[in-house]
Each structure stands twice: as C-alpha cells, then as structure tokens.
Amino acid sequence: MAADRGDRERVLVTWIDYDPDGSRTGARLRDAGLAVHCEPKLGARSAGEVGRLAAGAVAAIVSTDPFDRSVFAAAPELRVIARVGVGTDSIDLDAATEAGVAVLVTPSGNRETVADHAMALILAALRRIVEHDASVRRGEWRRGGDLMAWDLHGATVGLVGHGEIGRAVARRLEGFGVHLLVSDPAARDGESVPLDELLRRSDVVSLHLPLARETRHVIGGRELALMKPHAVLVNTSRGGLVDEAALMARLSGGELRAAALDVFEDEPPSTVRDLRRLPNVVLTPHVGGLSEGSVAHMTEQATSHVLAALRGRPPIGALANPAVLSGERRR
C-alpha cells in the first residue's frame, strides 16, 4: 500500500511493522519531503519482485528482501538501504558499493532481545516445554518416563561466536551454573576452545555467527557427528549456518537429542514440514530479535539512518559497506 503519493522522492518500506504515520517513523520522512510507500514482506520474494518495488525509490527500509545486482540495476535512483536488524546476507554489499548505495544496519537494536530468545529456546528444548504442552492439551498427565526433562544447571554450554549477542547470552548463563565454552578468537569470557573441541564437549551448542561464505554450513554433517548424542543445537543467528538436511537426519536417527531453531536456510522454510514432524525440535519464525521494544527502537533507528544518509551523512558505525564513502556514485 502507499502511505502517500505525489511528486516527492519515494522511500520503499518492506519491514512489516513499520508505522507510516508514526511520529518517530513515517511522519519524519514526510516532514523531510519524502513519500512513504509500504510493501510489507509477508513471504518469500524474488530479486525481480524487489527490483520492481524499488524502481524509482531513493531509499528503502527493508526486511530480509534480496538485493542483488539486478535490483540495483532496476533501481538506479536508490541511494540508501536501511536494514531493520543487523544481518546483511540478503544484500550483495559489493554490488551496493559499486552502485553507490549505502547499506545501514541497526547495531545493538535487538541484542538483548535475541539473547532472551536464545535462552528461551535453550530452556524450551531442555525442559521439553513444547512436548509437555502438546501432551497436556491431549488430556495426558505424563510427568516422567519418555518425556522426562533435562537440566541446564551443571551442563556444558558452547557458544559459537562471541560478539555482542554471544556475550549477552553468556551473561544470562552465569546464573544457571553452567560450564561455558566459547569458540571465537575474540572470546572474552568462558573457556576458549577450537570449534571441534567445543562440539565434542558441549551439552548445548548455541550459534551466534553472521552468515558469510566462510560460515555457511559451519555446522554440517561432520560437525554434527562430533556432538554428543544427548546434545542440543540452538540457532538464533542465520539458517545457512547449519546444513538442515544433515541436522534432520541426526535428529530423526536419535543421534542428536534436540534442536531449537529460530532461523532456516530458506525463509519461509521449505523444509519446515519435515522439521515439524520431529517432536524433539522447537521452531519459531525468525522472531528472536523482535519485541515491542526492539522493533520500535530499530524502526526509529532505520528512519534516522535514511534521513542522515540522504543528507550525505550516513552514521559510520551503522554502515555495512563503509567503502561506499570512498568512491563516487557509479551510474
């Protein structure tokens, strides 16, 4: 839908919870002489669809829409992409830089919210919350046996990645009396170990890495085989970190106790039907970073980023492609 039309320069908004009339969001754009055009991302979108939506826009406030070279070619007026969140794996940063488009993220906007969700998934998997909920709804009262829950206290928890979110999870784990392992050259807390050792020793493995070429399928068949049969894998980062087919095989074969996933290789996930059949998997729809507070903060921040970038002053700390500042816009 279009919030307003006319001869104003246009801002495309695909973030589903953006308020086009909010005093701290859309109204600020209109006060700056911009038109707000909302096309919420409700499902998977192709680059071709994004290109058609972005054509004529000078800025975009986006979800996980794909921005590849074809999109930049279709939207030659585009000057800034403000991502609500911190992930940029759906945006070709090299192509954006070559096109002179600043890509901005909302750093720290959802750090604590993601950490809360990671803890919720860890506890849901270990305490078997989803399975017990389904059992009670069926009219059962199974307090033990094959639905006996497991402990977090005293467990060895491995964090793969120790950036802002990983450290926030580590802080929360301090109160549970766990032994903390960390696989990250920049680790500040816990016992720092190589990834293979972390996988062999951990009862719970929680992923906190960005998705890049070197991290895609960082947890594949070989890595899953290193994990204990009673271990639990938790992913609140990016689905592409995990080989889902290998994960499903180990979960189905009883070679891995459980998994808790907020993110998937394809979103919406094409494999969710298979995952959904497994009782030892907790699934959420990539909502780890979303809460009333975090969404309000991130949408306000993304709006500020658009306004600053269009004035030629993009905030350096939020730039995902700082090299864009060193060259002239290529059109």
Which residue is it, tokens 């204990």?
Answer: 228
98 flagged as catalytic: no
117 flagged as catalytic: no
Q: What does the alpha-carbon distance between residue 218 and residue 241 come to, in Å, rounded to a whole number?
A: 5
CB 61 within 8 A of CB 39: no
CB 80 within 8 A of CB 306: yes
Active-site residue, from 9, 49, 191, 267: 267
Q: What does the alpha-carbon distance between residue 225 and residue 105 come to, in Å, rounded to a whole number?
A: 35
Report helix, strand or coil for 319. Answer: strand
ω into 268 cis (within 30 of 0): yes
Active-site residue, from 83, 286, 297, 305: 286
Within the chain, where are the H helices?
26-31, 47-54, 69-74, 93-98, 111-126, 129-137, 164-173, 195-201, 221-226, 244-252, 272-276, 292-310
Active-site residue, from 117, 162, 201, 238: 238
Give which of 54, 79, 58, 57 is closest to 66, Cα–Cα. Answer: 54
37 flagged as catalytic: no
Give which of 221, 206, 331, 308 is closest to 263, Cα–Cα. Answer: 206
Q: Which residues are catalytic?
A: 238, 267, 286
